[in-house]
Amino acid sequence: MTVILALETSCDETACAIIRDRDVLASVVSSQIEVHKRYGGVVPEVASRQHVLTINPVIEETLATASIRWEAIDGIGVTCGPGLVGSLLTGVMAAKTLNSSSSSRRASVLRFSDATCVTSVNGTLECVLMEIRPVLR
């Protein structure tokens, strides 16, 4: 069984899910609607800073909700386009940090629209044409 931790920070919501094979074990979303309401729309810099504040608590809550320990994670998925650049960078850097801080080898799965790229522990990038969406069904 493969367990993936997936992150999404493309705009104004910070989200994390734990997927085992094709089953979603947990999904947590932190909305920024109230933060941006006073501006009448999403402010990219504000969105990026809010992701920095919420990404760790969202990941921790998702792991707890799924009753999964970090050691059980086989791979990390993260949205890296399309979206707001600063918001996307927050998610990508969180995924890379989680991967590099681990003593075990995990693959980081990065989604670029319709191409999926897998970066190995040594930093090489290999692209495979496929969608992540079917994994979530």
88-113 tens-digit pLDDT: 999 988 988 888 776 655 555 555 44
DSSP per residue, 72-137:
G--EEEEE-SSS-HHHHHHHHHHHHHHHHT-SS--EEEEEETTEEEEE-TT--EEEEE--SHHHH-
Antiparallel, parallel or unpaired: β 75-79 and 107-112: parallel
**Does residue 118 lie in a domain region?**
no
Token pair for 17: 């899910």
Residue 130, pLDDT above cutoff 60? no
Range of the domain at 88: 3-106
| Alpha carbon distance 80, 111 (integer Å) | 6
For residue 135, being part of any structural domain is answered with no
How confident is the model at residue 108, as a pLDDT? 57
**Highest mean pLDDT: which of 19-28, 36-45, 98-107?**
36-45
Contact 66, 26 (CB under 8 A): yes
For residue 121, the model assigns a pLDDT of 41
Pick from 2-16, 32-46, 55-69: least confident: 2-16
Percent with pLDDT over 90 in the chain: 46
**Is 89 a domain residue?**
yes
The pLDDT of residue 129 is 36
Task: Give the residue with greater pLDDT, 107 vs 48.
Answer: 48
- Pair of tokens at residue 5: 């931790």
Which of 3, 2, 63, 68 minimizes the C-alpha distance to 28? 63
Task: For residue 120, tell me if it sits in a domain.
Answer: no
Identify the CATH number of the domain in which residue 63 sits: 3.30.420.40
pLDDT for res 90: 93
Distance CA 19, CA 17 (A): 6
Which of 15-19, 36-40, 59-63, 78-82 shows the lowest per-residue confidence on average (mean pLDDT)?
78-82
Q: Number of folded domains in the chain? A: 1
